[in-house]
Amino acid sequence: MHQVATDALVLHAFDYRESSRIVRLATHDLGIISVIARGTRSPKSKMGSSLDLFTSGVAHVRVHATRDLHTLAGFDGTRGRPELAASLARFRAASALAELCLRFGREDDGGIVHAAITQVLDVLGAAEGLAVATVALSGAWRLVAEIGFAPSLTECASCHAPLPPTDAVTFSHRAGGALCATCARQARGGRTLPADARRTLVAWLESDIAADVAPLENDAAVRAHQRLLREFIEEHVGDGRPLRAFVSWEEALYGAPVAAP
């Protein structure tokens, strides 16, 4: 067992037994980890009050080599993100992004998820209107790409033939991206990806997360992109568990009643 001090972001936390919490962190040095924070539910606990959702800080982690639950010895919060909880739209989008990190993330990822999610949440915290969903969607695709699952969009995912940018194509989640007409005929499943939606995806994947992204034009475009992203995540995570935060983010656009966070 050794202790590591690393930049970290709180992605998820839940109560454990009478006085502790289990916290899931995206970290720079250790990747996505689960830690137990003992005694943090006591009102006197300094650490407990700094472990709010989406807070950045320095985590002092006692690493257990043989277990996947480590111990959080301390957490020095450096940046809370109350602006995410202040807006239901931002909070739902941030929760969907956190779920994506937790589902895809792993230990010892070289800090890529921590760097990407921190940057996306900072941009999301200042977004308004349709930019909220747009920032979250573009950030989610950047995360997917950072983790190594970038979809093929400008050439066929199967035969690598170039795809003219003005063509509608078939997007096959299983094949990992867009298909040319010949490969699309041989592939089962897949959905049509219009040329403008493909251009948007290419722009998101080529952009820096912090760069300005042009907001999607309406809720219908947001819904179509959310569905495409969810299906892609489901295909490549493949463990069959529902993406609860992601689905609740999607349903919010349909006006379904939801409780405040």
* Chain positions contacting Zn ion, by CB under 5 A: 156, 158-159, 161, 180, 183
Question: In terms of CB distance, is 126 or 159 closer to Zn ion?
Answer: 159
Question: In terms of CB distance, is 144 or 183 closer to Zn ion?
Answer: 183
Give the whole-angstrom CA distance, residue 128 versus residue 131. 6
- What six digits make up the tokens of 171? 């997007």
Q: Which helix (H) or strand (E) holds 30?
A: none
Question: In terms of CB distance, is 42 or 154 closer to Zn ion?
Answer: 154
For CA atoms 135, 249, 157, 119, give the dihedral sign.
positive
Please, what is the minimum distance in Å from the beta carbon of residue 159 to Zn ion?
3
End-to-end CA distance of the chain: 37
Question: In terms of CB distance, is 8 or 180 closer to Zn ion?
Answer: 180
Please, what is the minimum distance in Å from the beta carbon of residue 182 to Zn ion?
5
Question: In terms of CB distance, is 95 or 170 closer to Zn ion?
Answer: 170
Give the whole-angstrom CA distance, residue 91 versus residue 96. 9
Please, what is the minimum distance in Å from the beta carbon of residue 133 to Zn ion?
31
Please, what is the minimum distance in Å from the beta carbon of residue 225 to Zn ion?
24
Q: How far is CA 143 from CA 43, 67, 172, 197, in A?
A: 36, 26, 19, 19
Do you know the residue count of the chain? 261
8 Å CB contact between 136 and 96: yes
Please, what is the minimum distance in Å from the beta carbon of residue 148 to Zn ion?
22
DSSP state of 155: B
Question: In terms of CB distance, is 33 or 156 closer to Zn ion?
Answer: 156
Question: In terms of CB distance, is 91 or 171 closer to Zn ion?
Answer: 171
Residue type, 85: A
Please, what is the minimum distance in Å from the beta carbon of residue 186 to Zn ion?
9
Please, what is the minimum distance in Å from the beta carbon of residue 155 to Zn ion?
8
For CA atoms 179, 193, 196, 211, give the dihedral sign.
negative
Quickly list DSSP for 31-80: EEEEEEETTTTSTT-HHHHH--TT-EEEEEEEE-TT-SEEEEEEEEEEE-
